[in-house]
Structure 1
Amino acid sequence: MTSPATTGPAYAAVLAEVTDALHTVLDDLELDDTPITPDTRFVEDLDLESIDLVTLTAELGGRYGDRVDFPAWFASLELSDIIGLTVGQLVQYIAGCLR
């Protein structure tokens, strides 16, 4: 059974925003050939480095403002969690903050 936090218009809208932000921030990585899904991993699948994640969250911070506290969320994660972070986990966090 699918969780309401991972379905519905809010989740879909945030997924679209995150995908758009990835394309904006990382246009030189040719993401057009890489499908972005909730299971896409930032490090392993997209080869993002820590500076890329900082740039991405700055872009998303500009879109969502104070409603989403990216620094606090990342600070709460272990290094292994950040390395394995998926698009879906980020989207779920953002969608939860927007409720």
Structure 2
Amino acid sequence: MDDQVKPPTLGRAPDADQVLSVTSRILEELLQEYADEIEITRRTRFLDDLEIESVDLVVLAGRLRDIWGVRVDFPRFISGLELSEILELTVGEVVDYVVMCLADVEKDG
């Protein structure tokens, strides 16, 4: 896996487009050659569109934590969802969660 995925250096919390860009690069790394076949957008579904497996979600959780810090607690986010919500989870929902966590960090100073 490429360790070059880094968050933008802004001095403030990133916006949804910046988080989407970083998250998309992580997913492209996970999916490798399959990523060339699909455009990753906010509406992209993890299960139906990307065919992400649970182990891939674990890797995604670790990468999000490595890049954005411990405040982005992806396992906690997932544990608060119903099974049907997890099955329909979109990249946009994850992006919104990350943005919310990072905005809270910025508010806390």
Question: TM-score under structure 1 normalisation?
Answer: 0.85
Runs of 4+ in 1 over 2 A off after TM superposition: none
Give the gaps of 5 or more residues in structure 1: 1-8
Query: For residues 88 and 66 of structure 1, what CA distance do their matches in structure 2 show?
Result: 20
Given candidates 76, 88, 100, the residue that maps to 1:84 is 88
Q: Which amino acid aligns with 1:22?
A: L
Please tell me whether residue 21 in structure 1 is matched to residue 4 in structure 2: no
Aligned length: 90
Identity %: 43
Q: Which residue of 2 aligns with 1:40?
A: 44
CA-CA distance at 1:22 after TM superposition: 0.4
Q: Deviations over 1:17-60 (max 9, x none)?
A: 100110122215x2012000100000000111111111111111
Of Structure 1 and Structure 2, the greater helix share is in: 1
Q: Which amino acid aligns with 1:92?
A: D
Contact 1:25 1:59 in 2 (8 A): no
Q: Larger Rg: 1 or 2?
A: 2
Instruction: Select the structure with the greater relative contact order (CA < 8 A; seq sep ≥ 6).
Output: 1
Q: Which residue of 2 aligns with 1:68?
A: 72
CA-CA distance at 1:67 after TM superposition: 2.1
Contact 1:41 1:84 in 2 (8 A): yes
Please tell me whether residue 10 in structure 1 is matched to residue 15 in structure 2: yes
Q: Which amino acid aligns with 1:42?
A: F
For the aligned residues, what is the CA RMSD?
1.2
Query: For residues 75 and 95 of structure 2, what CA distance do their matches in structure 1 show?
Result: 15
CA-CA distance at 1:69 after TM superposition: 1.0
